């Protein structure tokens, strides 16, 4: 159906688009000719990313500084823009790191809000007009951590599993209606958050944000799931198809068990 911009334009909204993987998605989308709405909490980082993309690609970039845990505010502010969102990318995440016994109730609430409630409701919001137009795209971010229990990342992993299953179901439902849905099941990514985590070990198959974003955008429209990187594809196959659940959790624990 024509070019990327014709199918998914005129605007893409990237949630969590101020830096790291979200900014890489914004760059990749702008390079394909779409205008952008980027949403994140930190206004200074948003403005800097927006200015860089405008200068590099000559597209319109609108920023919304908002807490993605507050989905009602985000919906109101997006609605007030009056722009047509043809592509929705949800990259934002709240990651409680460490033993569940030391995770606070507020952290659990934030993880459920940012990682589950907001992407679910924004997917509903943006998919409705996409269906009416007969075109559009939705990208949700998941993680290899969500393929099995992940000690010291238990809550985050569970929320990523939710996004995987949601996207797979919607891919089948919405594809006949002209809307492409894709979940990116990524391994370790060299984002600021990953680099700042205490005791984080360099994981096999670690990729740059630009590589993950590009592989994901290239895969949009070609199936329900993309796993960027050969090492990560092999790892996912082993963890989900070959090993027992007990074995997969044990291997994951070797990578995440010391995180704090």
Q: Hey, is 64 helix, strand or coil?
A: strand
Q: Count other Cβ atoms within 10 Å, centred on residue 76.
A: 11
Count CA atoms within 13 Å of residue 144 on its CB side: 27
**Which contiguous run of DSSP H or E holds residue 87?**
strand 85-90
Of 11, 135, 139, which Cα lies nearest the Cα of 84? 11
At residue 256, the pLDDT reads: 75
User: What is the extent of the structural domain holding 145?
Assistant: 4-256
Residue 204 C-beta-side C-alpha neighbours within 13 Å: 11
At 181 the pLDDT is 98
Our count of domains for the chain comes to: 1
Length of the chain equals 260
Cβ–Cβ under 8 Å, residues 22 and 40: yes
Q: Sheet containing 225-226: give its strands across.
A: 61-65, 35-40, 11-15, 85-90, 136-143, 179-186, 225-226
pLDDT at 253: 87
CA-to-CA separations, 207 to 159, 191, 222, 253, in angstroms, rounded: 22, 9, 21, 21
Distance CA 135, CA 164 (A): 22
pLDDT of residue 45: 96
What is the reported pLDDT for 159?
A: 98
pLDDT of the chain, 260 residues: tens digit per residue: 469 999 999 999 999 999 999 999 999 999 999 999 999 999 999 999 999 999 999 999 999 999 999 999 999 999 999 999 999 999 999 999 999 999 999 999 999 999 999 999 999 999 999 999 999 999 999 999 999 999 999 999 999 999 999 999 999 999 999 999 999 999 889 866 555 554 555 577 889 999 999 999 999 999 999 999 999 999 899 888 888 999 989 988 887 766 65
Residue 134's CATH number: 3.40.50.720
What is the Cα–Cα distance from 61 to 33, expressed in whole angstroms? 12
Nearest CA-CA partner of 141 in 177, 101, 91: 91
Exposed, middle or buried by CB within 10 Å (0-12, 13-18, 19+), for 225?
middle
Residue with tokens 């998919």: 127
Q: What is the pTM of this model?
A: 0.92
Q: What backbone torsions phi and psi does residue 36 show, to the nearest 5 degrees?
A: -130, 145
Burial of 118 (0-12, 13-18, 19+ CB in 10 A): buried
């Amino acid at each position: 159906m024509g070019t990327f911009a014709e199918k998914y334009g005129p605007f893409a909204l990237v949630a969590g688009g101020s830096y790291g993987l979200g900014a890489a998605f914004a760059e990749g989308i702008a390079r394909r000719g779409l205008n952008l709405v980027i949403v994140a909490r930190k206004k200074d980082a948003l403005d800097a990313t927006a200015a860089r993309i405008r200068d590099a690609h000559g597209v319109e970039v609108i920023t919304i500084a908002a807490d993605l845990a507050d989905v009602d505010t985000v919906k109101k502010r997006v609605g007030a823009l009056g722009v047509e969102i043809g592509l929705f990318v949800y990259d934002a995440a709240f990651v409680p790191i460490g033993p569940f016994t030391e995770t606070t109730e507020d952290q659990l609430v934030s993880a459920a809000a940012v990682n589950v409630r907001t992407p679910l409701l924004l997917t509903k919001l943006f998919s409705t007009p996409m269906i009416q137009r007969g075109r559009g795209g939705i990208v949700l971010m998941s993680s290899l951590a969500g393929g099995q229990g992940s000690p010291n990342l238990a809550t985050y992993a569970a929320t990523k599993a939710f996004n995987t299953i949601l996207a797979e179901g919607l891919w089948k439902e919405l594809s006949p209606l002209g809307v492409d849905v894709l979940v990116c099941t990524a391994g370790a990514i060299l984002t600021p958050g990953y680099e700042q985590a205490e005791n984080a070990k360099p994981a096999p198959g670690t990729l740059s944000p630009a590589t993950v974003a590009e592989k994901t955008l290239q895969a949009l429209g070609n199936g329900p799931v993309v796993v960027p990187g050969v090492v990560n594809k092999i790892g996912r196959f082993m963890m989900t198809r070959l090993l027992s659940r007990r074995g997969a959790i044990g291997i994951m624990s070797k990578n995440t068990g010391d995180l704090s």
